[in-house]
Amino acid sequence: MGSLSRNSFSPLEPNSFTDESKAVIDFIADYYTNIEKYPVQSQVNPGYLSTQLPDTAPYSNDSLENILKDVSDSILPGLTHWQSPNFFGYFQANASTAGFLGEMLCSGLNVVGFNWISSPAATELESIVMDWMGKMLKLPSSFVFWNRDKALEKLGGYENITKLVIYASDQTHFTLQTASKLIGIPPSNFRSLSTSFSTEFSLSPEALRVAIEDDIKSGLVPLYLCATVGTTAAGAVDPIEELGKIAREYKLWFHIDAAYAGSACICPEFRNYLDGVELADSISMNPHKWFLTNMECCCLWIRQPSSLTDSLSTHSEIMRNSVSESNRVIDYKDWQIALSRRFRALKLWVVIRKHGLAKLMYHIRSDVNMAKRFEAMVRKDKRFEIVVPRKFALVCFRLKPKNESNGSELNSKLIDAVNSSGRAFITHAVVGGVYVIRCAIGSTLTEERHVDDLWKLIQEKAQILLLQAANCNCTCQ
Within residues 340-359, the interface with a second copy by CB under 8 A covers: 340, 342, 346, 350, 352-359
Phi, psi of 137 (to 5 degrees): -90, 0
Three-state SS at 375: helix
CB of 212 to a second copy, least distance (A): 20
Question: Do 289 and 305 meet the contact criterion of CB atoms below 8 Å apart?
Answer: no
CB of 357 to a second copy, least distance (A): 5
| DSSP-derived secondary structure letter, 202 | P
Site for a second copy contains 69 (CB under 8 A): no
Which residue number, 12 or 474, has a Cβ lying nearer to a second copy?
12
- Helices 205-217, 240-249: inter-axial angle, 10-degree rounding: 20
Count CB neighbours of 410 within 10 A.
Answer: 21
| DSSP-derived secondary structure letter, 204 | P
Site for a second copy contains 216 (CB under 8 A): no
Which residue number, 311 or 468, has a Cβ lying nearer to a second copy?
311
Site for a second copy contains 178 (CB under 8 A): yes
In whole angstroms, give the CA distance from residue 438 to residue 427. 6
| DSSP-derived secondary structure letter, 74 | I
Cα–Cα distances (Å) from 40 to 76, 87, 436, in that order, read: 11, 7, 20
Among 240, 274, 277, 292, binds a second copy (CB under 8 A): 292
Among 448, 467, 472, 475, binds a second copy (CB under 8 A): 448
Count CB neighbours of 217 within 10 A.
Answer: 8
Q: What is the dihedral of CA 61, 34, 76, 285, to 10 degrees?
A: 110
Which residue number, 157 or 268, has a Cβ lying nearer to a second copy?
157
Site for a second copy contains 192 (CB under 8 A): no
| Contacts of a second copy in 21-50 (CB under 8 A) | 21-22, 24-33, 41-42, 44, 46-50
Among 72, 138, 154, 179, binds a second copy (CB under 8 A): 179
Residue of 211, 24, 19 whose CA lies nearest to 103: 24
Site for a second copy contains 12 (CB under 8 A): yes
Please enumerate in sequence order all residues whose Cβ is within 8 A of that of 138, keeping only pairs 6 or more positions apart, or say none.
271, 274
CB of 196 to a second copy, least distance (A): 16
Q: What is the dihedral of CA 173, 174, 180, 186, to 10 degrees?
A: 140
Question: Do 394 and 440 meet the contact criterion of CB atoms below 8 Å apart?
Answer: yes
Among 196, 314, 403, 468, binds a second copy (CB under 8 A): 314
Which residue number, 194 or 463, has a Cβ lying nearer to a second copy?
194
For a second copy (CB under 8 A), the number of binding residues is: 159
Stretch that binds a second copy, among 51-59, 210-218, 390-398, 459-467 (CB under 8 A): 51-59
Contact characters 123-162, a second copy, x per CB under 8 A: -xx-xx--xxx-xx------------x-------xxxxxx
Which bin fits 396, alpha (ψ -120 to 50), beta or left (φ > 0)? beta
Signed CA dihedral, 181, 185, 189, 195: sign only: negative
Which residue number, 38 or 384, has a Cβ lying nearer to a second copy?
38
Which residue number, 156 or 217, has a Cβ lying nearer to a second copy?
156
| Contacts of a second copy in 223-282 (CB under 8 A) | 232-233
CB of 244 to a second copy, least distance (A): 25
CB of 444 to a second copy, least distance (A): 4
Please enumerate in sequence order all residues whose Cβ is within 8 A of that of 14, keeping only pairs 6 or more positions apart, or say none.
none
Which residue number, 191 or 288, has a Cβ lying nearer to a second copy?
288
Give the HSE-up count for residue 41: Cα atoms under 13 Å, Cβ half-sphere: 18
| Contacts of a second copy in 423-442 (CB under 8 A) | 427-430
Among 369, 406, 459, 477, binds a second copy (CB under 8 A): 369
| Contacts of a second copy in 87-116 (CB under 8 A) | 90, 93, 95-101, 103-105, 107-112, 116
Buried b / exposed e across 312-325, counting CB within 10 Å, b at 16+? Answer: eeeeeeebeeeebe
| Contacts of a second copy in 390-419 (CB under 8 A) | none
Among 156, 317, 380, 471, binds a second copy (CB under 8 A): 317
CB of 477 to a second copy, least distance (A): 22
For strands 190-193 and 384-388, give the pairing: unpaired
Among 69, 73, 78, 249, binds a second copy (CB under 8 A): 78
| DSSP-derived secondary structure letter, 336 | S
CB of 172 to a second copy, least distance (A): 11
CB of 427 to a second copy, least distance (A): 7
Which residue number, 124 or 460, has a Cβ lying nearer to a second copy?
124
